[in-house]
Structure 1
Amino acid sequence: MTNRGVSLPRPRRAWWREGAVTATAFALCLVGGVIQLDDTLSAPRAAAYLIAVVSCAVLPLRHRAPLATMAVTTACGMLVAPLDLLLTPLIVAPAVITAYSLAVRTERRLTTAVLLTSAALLVASTALFGDLSWQDASRLGIVAAFPLVAGVLGHSAQNRRAYLAAVEERARRAEESRDSEARRRVAEERVHIARELHDLVAHQITLASAQATVADHLFDARPEQARQSLKQLVETTGNALDDLRATVGLLRQSGDADAPAEPAPGLALLPTLLESFRRAGLEVAVHEEGAARSLPPGADLTAYRIIQEALTNVTKHAGTGSARVQLAWGRDRLTITVVDDGDGVSASAAPERPPGYGLIGMRERAAALGGHLSAGRRPEGGFRVSTELPVPLAEGDAP
């Protein structure tokens, strides 16, 4: 694990680059010191070496302290005229290099003010120590322009780095967003499959348990009825296997053989569902109000599953042999109510079993469509499950 409080050594390539930049600046300073005031060339004097050494010695610090480095290099440039040297762009090369680094790492307004001040000081120091000719004025203008041009180039580099950083950040966020969306979809699909499996297993296994219980009670006294219950048990388990095979088929890979597709259950299959409960010994009465109409596939499946789960809970937990299902078709809503008169004690349900996810799954299904589900005991006894699902408006109804 990296300790961020300790500064790590700079890469070897960075040290070579810094050495090359410093050596180049030192050579330029000495070349600038060769040029004399009368435009002749001579060997660099000690003053030229002094300015070159001091101004280049602070160059490696321009990355960490650009303002201080700019102040030192500007001060060295101001000493050129008092030491009888000629102020040229070459002798102030360290100041130009520092101006670029300052523009890259500092806010634009501060950089502009510092560079303008530095250029003004360089020109003023020369003007104070001698008479200026037109030739000197043009030379000083070039000297003052070099740090400013370096600052413009530094700002361009800063803008480009900021643009590239923004592009990388957007790409990173887009990648994280895609990963998050993929995880969210996987989680939703996992919950959807778990809910479907719960509804299928709870319904079919509950019916199979009830039919097996009936066959066990009638085996000696009424063998024909017991045999009929066993036939129904075989049919129920076969249907359970078919439903499980169709649901687990959703987990197939894209290259697997296609499984036979069957339409999703809906209210059109409600009579078949109720008949399966009646064969298991639960008498179900159905009452319908309003004009029934077709539902979207999602709402149709949700209505079917809620009725299926509610009646399964009656078979498992209510301890009664009857239940009532009411479908109330409203203008823009379908209200489904399932009630029973049981005492909450079922012989087929073991008391030590943990609570299931039936009510949770029904609430999730209703909420996914923008509906609402309520469940609880009735004051007069029994249990009541009621849900409201939004449905499309009937033809002729204004929104």
Structure 2
Amino acid sequence: MAERGPTTAGADTPDRGGPPRADAATAAGQPLGRFLRARPWLVDAAVSLVFTAIVVATLASEALTGQAVVTVWDVLTIAGTAIALLFRRRAPLTVLVVVLLLTTVITFSAQSNLLLAVPIALYAVAALRSPTIGWIAGAGAYLVTVVSLFAWLPALSAQLGEPGAFDIPVVLLTLAMADTVGVLLGANTWQRAERVKVLTERAEQLSRERDAQARIATLAERSRIAGEMHDIVAHSLSVMISLADGADATLERDPATARRALAQLSETGRSALQDMRRTLSVLGESTDAAAAREPAPGHADLADLVERFRTAGLPVRFSVRGTPIANATFELAVYRVVQEALTNALRYAPDAAHVTVAVEYGPPATTVTVTDDGRGAATGESAGSGRGLIGMAERAAVFGGTVEAGPVPTGGWRVRAVLPHPDGGRAAEGDAIGGDGDA
């Protein structure tokens, strides 16, 4: 209920692109991709198996042609490298060190493709750590390979023969290209993963923002409904209490007047019940269904509103000046301000001899002034919560307006609300009011 106290209140675009397109090959590969992403150990096992098969096939071919002799150390080196590659996802840097030791430092595997394990390990470093670490590791691995090559060169020359003028440069260039390709592929994989991560985080952020906006909208709607319910219940109960008191006081000496008060009491209760149903119905209905219901009260209902307060015993003088605008939300705000101000007067100034309601329809704003000369207003007595004045201020603030409430110097209480007309507001057809109109 309104409280007697001075109060012043002031005033991602969706993408236009069509649906994503995918060819048959991409669509067919999606289940396999999801299966492998859920089981990365299968990919590591397949890489290690294919690598081992290539090395073994190469070494077997050279052994059959007499170009190489397979030793137990060769078998152990191949097995150790294959096993190390199985753990490249868990510890890529450690695997790189182990592979370098097995293929270039402890022995230089020039007679097979075992050196291919180095770019495979570099790929894992760049893909799972970062491209920067991958390039640093690649440079270090290549430096170790070069030093090992020249350290093992006498043994290799004795085993394979003296190298030609271009053999060593070609080997070094080949190794450099292999290491570079491994790092480049790993960096590309890392960048793709980062892009997916950024897109995922962005989608999550948008989802959180959407949920927050939904919560804000829900709270705003709850606040609006709470304001509507306060206006309806407070007004109706105040009028009904006054009517009941009046009927009780006149029941014996003037039964006819008491019956009229009781009839008005019943009508006020039905009207309040209808307003509550209309307000609460929007919670479970679609926009079209809610719009089909009886429209909310506006300026055309002000005279009936004033008459109900007169019946309740409040001596109201009502005057209207100007031309209302055709805007349902604006009209409802004006109606609720008048309703709340009169309810305030009925509750806190029941001894008022004069209550005036003056509504002046702009331009550029509509001004509502409700004044009473009750003694309760002058003394500032109040037992209310202040919700009524807050509700009036909030309704005015929607249109950039203000509400001022407080005692007047001559005694009494005044509520003055100024509501600027919303953009596009136009005069209501057939509702032009010229000069002063008193009711």
Relative to the length of structure 2, the TM-score reads 0.72
CA contact under 8 A between 2:142 and 2:179: conserved in structure 1?
Answer: yes
Structure 1 position 67 matched with structure 2 position 93: yes
CA contact under 8 A between 2:130 and 2:187: conserved in structure 1?
Answer: no
The answer to which structure, 1 or 2, has the higher relative contact order (CA under 8 A, 6+ apart) is: 2
Q: Residues 89-129 of structure 1: CA distance to partner in whole angstroms, max 9, x if unpaired?
A: x2123322211111112332332233134234424532452
Match of 2:246 in 1: 214
- 1:376 deviates by 3.3
Counterpart Cα distance in 1 of 2:213 and 2:274:
32
Q: Residues 47-100 of structure 1: CA distance to partner in whole angstroms, max 9, x if unpaired?
A: 4345446555654554454334334433443326xx464265x21233222111
Counterpart Cα distance in 1 of 2:123 and 2:216:
48
SS in 2 for 1:86: coil
CA contact under 8 A between 1:266 and 1:304: conserved in structure 2?
Answer: yes
The letter for the 2-side match of 1:373 is V
Structure 1 position 299 matched with structure 2 position 337: no
CA contact under 8 A between 2:337 and 2:392: conserved in structure 1?
Answer: yes
Structure 1 position 111 matched with structure 2 position 134: yes
CA contact under 8 A between 2:103 and 2:109: conserved in structure 1?
Answer: no
Match of 1:184 in 2: 216
Distance 1:202 1:46, change over 3 A: same
- 1:31 deviates by 5.8
The letter for the 1-side match of 2:193 is R
Counterpart Cα distance in 1 of 2:140 and 2:420:
72
Counterpart Cα distance in 2 of 1:45 and 1:374:
101
SS in 1 for 2:114: coil
CA contact under 8 A between 1:246 and 1:259: conserved in structure 2?
Answer: no
Q: 2:182 aligns with which of 137, 147, 150?
A: 150
Structure 1 position 168 matched with structure 2 position 200: yes
- 1:259 deviates by 9.2
Q: 1:250 aligns with which of 273, 279, 282?
A: 282
CA contact under 8 A between 2:232 and 2:275: conserved in structure 1?
Answer: yes
Match of 1:320 in 2: 351
The letter for the 2-side match of 1:73 is V
Match of 1:159 in 2: 191
- 1:280 deviates by 1.1
Distance 1:31 1:210, change over 3 A: same
The letter for the 1-side match of 2:402 is H
Q: 1:92 aligns with which of 90, 96, 115?
A: 115
Match of 1:339 in 2: 371
Q: Residues 185-225 of structure 1: CA distance to partner in whole angstroms, max 9, x if unpaired?
A: 33222222222222122222221221111111111112222
The letter for the 1-side match of 2:306 is L
Counterpart Cα distance in 1 of 2:130 and 2:351:
80
User: 257-266 or 161-170: which moved more?
Assistant: 257-266
- 1:19 deviates by 5.4
SS in 2 for 1:238: helix
Relative to the length of structure 1, the TM-score reads 0.78
Match of 2:341 in 1: 310
The 5 A counterparts of 1:1-399 are 18=44, 21-22=47-48, 40-49=66-75, 51-52=77-78, 55-56=81-82, 58-59=84-85, 62-79=88-105, 83=107, 85-86=109-110, 88=112, 90-127=113-150, 129=153, 132-133=163-164, 134-135=166-167, 137-254=169-286, 261-287=293-319, 291-321=322-352, 322-344=354-376, 355=385, 357-392=387-422
Counterpart Cα distance in 2 of 1:255 and 1:305:
23
CA contact under 8 A between 1:366 and 1:372: conserved in structure 2?
Answer: yes
Q: Structure 1 stretches of 5 or more lacking a match?
A: 1-10, 346-350
CA contact under 8 A between 2:125 and 2:133: conserved in structure 1?
Answer: no
CA contact under 8 A between 1:87 and 1:126: conserved in structure 2?
Answer: no
CA contact under 8 A between 1:30 and 1:44: conserved in structure 2?
Answer: no
User: 302-311 or 162-171: which moved more?
Assistant: 162-171
Q: Structure 2 stretches of 5 or more lacking a match?
A: 1-36, 155-161, 427-439
Counterpart Cα distance in 1 of 2:194 and 2:291:
53
Counterpart Cα distance in 1 of 2:396 and 2:346:
22
Q: Percent identity?
A: 32
- 1:136 deviates by 5.0
Counterpart Cα distance in 2 of 1:259 and 1:35:
85
User: 212-221 or 101-110: which moved more?
Assistant: 101-110
CA contact under 8 A between 2:340 and 2:388: conserved in structure 1?
Answer: yes
CA contact under 8 A between 1:87 and 1:143: conserved in structure 2?
Answer: no
- 1:148 deviates by 1.9
Distance 1:254 1:387, change over 3 A: closer
Distance 1:282 1:93, change over 3 A: same
Distance 1:194 1:379, change over 3 A: same
CA contact under 8 A between 1:373 and 1:386: conserved in structure 2?
Answer: yes
The letter for the 2-side match of 1:389 is L
CA contact under 8 A between 1:77 and 1:87: conserved in structure 2?
Answer: no
Counterpart Cα distance in 1 of 2:373 and 2:350:
9
- 1:40 deviates by 4.1
CA contact under 8 A between 1:28 and 1:93: conserved in structure 2?
Answer: no
CA contact under 8 A between 2:282 and 2:290: conserved in structure 1?
Answer: no
User: 228-237 or 330-339: which moved more?
Assistant: 330-339
- 1:164 deviates by 2.6
